[in-house]
Amino acid sequence: MTASPDQAPPSTGRRSAGPIALRIERLLHLMEPHLVKLQVLMLVLFLIVLLAPLMLGDKAVGSSGPFADIGAISSLLLWGVWLPLVLVTAVLAGRAWCGLLCPMGAASEWMSRIGLQRPTPNWLKWSGLPLASFLVVSVLNEATGADDNPLALAILFGSLFFAAITVGFLFGRNKRAWCRHACPVGLTLGMSARLSAVTLQPKTPRPDGERYSEKTVCPTMIDLKRKTESRHCLVCAKCVAPQARGGLSVAFRRLGSEIRAVASANPSLVEVLFLFSAIGIATGVMLEDLPGAEEWIMGVLGLGDGLFATAAYFAIVTAATVAVLSATAVLAALGMAAARPGRRWQAWFYRFGYAIAPLSLAALIFCMCAVAFEALAALGVPAGAILAIKGVILLAALAWCSSLVRGTPAPRARAGADPALLGGD
Ligand code: SF4
């Protein structure tokens, strides 16, 4: 998509490669041929964590708490260790987890080497698919209680694994169509990558903006010379060659700089809707656990006991999502009204919509990493200390949101529709 002249001024914040970036680049280049061994190891660990609780039942290991039995340990490893690590590393170093370690993405790519290698169909490229995938998995997780039910957990993750390898078998050659188009955590990690301090940038860039291409070594179909965004880059290092004149190089940038300059990096309505719904889902999960909250909502909705949990959950999620959406719309309207006539609604909406990204990620950490907080409590960490940790995360996220709003250039007026602001995939 081509950046319009009025979108050009915001800087993506990239800095020229220094000695540390060069060292990282060389390390990535050295590691790349051996990554497959690491990925096989991760696949074996993943299968053990998923299947051990089913095969060994609730075999006791300890007396109580997160190490009481195999199922509890498995749940802790997946929800308490794996997810927090993935989220934290994504904010620091983009989607490096996906490209270097994720067993599902790696298996999908392996299948694409031996599979049918068909071109990616348009239905798979539908820009709403990652959001739909995220919402479906979130609802299934909540409805089945997968975070503390080993069978539900195995079915959920097993189904995702099967879907990933099926997509890999059918579509692309040495590609990860699953990671680019359908992974349920793709939007979460893509937004974290947009916020992150590390990126890969073309050494000899072409100026006409990010493009999709299946004729590239990039497994997520990025036309490498036109790469301007981080959300689809898995940091897999296939394009990194420190001695070559071409390819991509590692660069450091200010945290959040891609969000500040998002007008020139394919803003997407799907991403903004994801940020709203992430806050809605996290609010739903947290409020559902509050004593008496479900009863009160059921009373308001006038529903019977059978529909209780599901209806209450959907009501909270919808209400919270609409509340964030409305607040952003009001801010955008105020921003537009305060500006000179001719300033554009969409640009203001995206400016405030993207600025809530840190808050959305904090909400997802509270929601997805609930098991980690429970484990801390079971290990004897006082409730006050856990609350303080959550408070610090929340305050840091709010401060970051505020800095993103203040640091983002005000949208400029331009005649006619601007396709870049209608959203990329
Ligand atoms: S841009 Fe380079 S590092 Fe990123 S996913 Fe594509 S090939 Fe891998």
Q: Is 263 in the pocket of ligand 1 (CB under 6 A)?
A: no
Distance 156 CA to ligand 1 centre (A): 28
What is the C-alpha separation between 393 and 222, in angstroms, rounded? 33
What pLDDT score does 58 carry?
A: 62
What residue owns the CA closest to ligand 1's atom 2? 239
What is the C-alpha separation between 221 and 233, in angstroms, rounded? 9
Per residue of the chain (425 residues), give pLDDT as tens: 333 333 333 444 444 568 889 999 999 999 999 999 999 999 999 898 888 888 876 665 555 666 667 777 777 787 777 788 888 888 888 999 999 999 999 999 999 999 999 999 999 999 999 999 998 998 888 778 777 788 888 899 999 999 999 999 999 999 999 999 999 999 999 999 999 999 999 999 998 888 999 999 999 999 999 999 999 999 999 999 988 888 999 999 999 999 998 877 888 889 999 999 888 888 877 776 666 766 676 666 665 555 556 666 777 778 888 888 888 888 888 877 776 655 677 888 888 899 999 999 998 888 877 778 887 887 788 988 988 998 999 999 999 999 998 877 766 554 443 434 434 55
Q: For the packed helices 186-195 and 83-93, what is the interaxial angle rounded to 10 degrees?
A: 40
Name the pTM for this structure.
Answer: 0.84
What residue owns the CA closest to ligand 1's atom 1? 233
**Angle at the Cα of 83 (from 171 to 29), degrees rounded to 5?**
60
What residue owns the CA closest to ligand 1's atom 7? 218
What pLDDT score does 328 carry?
A: 86
CB 358 within 8 A of CB 405: no
- Identify which of 28, 112, 174, 218 to mutate to test ligand 1's pocket (most ligand atoms within 8 A of the CB): 218
Distance 170 CA to ligand 1 centre (A): 21
What is the C-alpha separation between 37 and 78, in angstroms, rounded? 21
What pLDDT score does 89 carry?
A: 86
Listed residue (271, 259, 251) closest to 198, CA to CA: 251
- Identify which of 39, 178, 225, 234 to mutate to test ligand 1's pocket (most ligand atoms within 8 A of the CB): 234
Expressed in angstroms, the distance from the first to the final Cα of the chain is 11
What pLDDT score does 60 carry?
A: 58
CB 80 within 8 A of CB 155: no
Domain boundaries, the chain: 5-260, 264-422
What's the Cα-to-Cα distance from 295 to each of 142, 290, 299, rounded to whole Å? Answer: 18, 10, 6
Distance 48 CA to ligand 1 centre (A): 29
Q: Is 24 in the pocket of ligand 1 (CB under 6 A)?
A: no
Q: Is 222 in the pocket of ligand 1 (CB under 6 A)?
A: yes
What's the Cα-to-Cα distance from 232 to each of 192, 203, 219, 384, rounded to whole Å? Answer: 11, 18, 10, 39
Q: Which residues pair with 200 in a beta bridge?
A: 250
Q: Which atom of ligand 1 is nearest to the CA of 235?
A: 3
Q: E-assigned strands of 139-225?
A: 198-202
What residue owns the CA closest to ligand 1's atom 4? 233
Distance 235 CA to ligand 1 centre (A): 5
Q: Which residues pair with 423 in a beta bridge?
A: none
Distance 165 CA to ligand 1 centre (A): 20
Q: Is 237 in the pocket of ligand 1 (CB under 6 A)?
A: yes
Token digits for 284?
Answer: 């739903």
Distance 81 CA to ligand 1 centre (A): 26
Listed residue (237, 203, 209) closest to 223, CA to CA: 209
What pLDDT score does 403 carry?
A: 92
Q: Is 196 in the pocket of ligand 1 (CB under 6 A)?
A: no
Altogether, the residues listed in the chain come to a count of 425
Q: Is 77 in the pocket of ligand 1 (CB under 6 A)?
A: no
Distance 237 CA to ligand 1 centre (A): 6
The region, left, alpha or beta by phi > 0 then psi within -120 to 50, assigned to residue 149 is beta
Residue 79 is given by DSSP the state I
Q: Is 226 in the pocket of ligand 1 (CB under 6 A)?
A: no
What residue owns the CA closest to ligand 1's atom 6? 218
Token digits for 323?
Answer: 């509340």
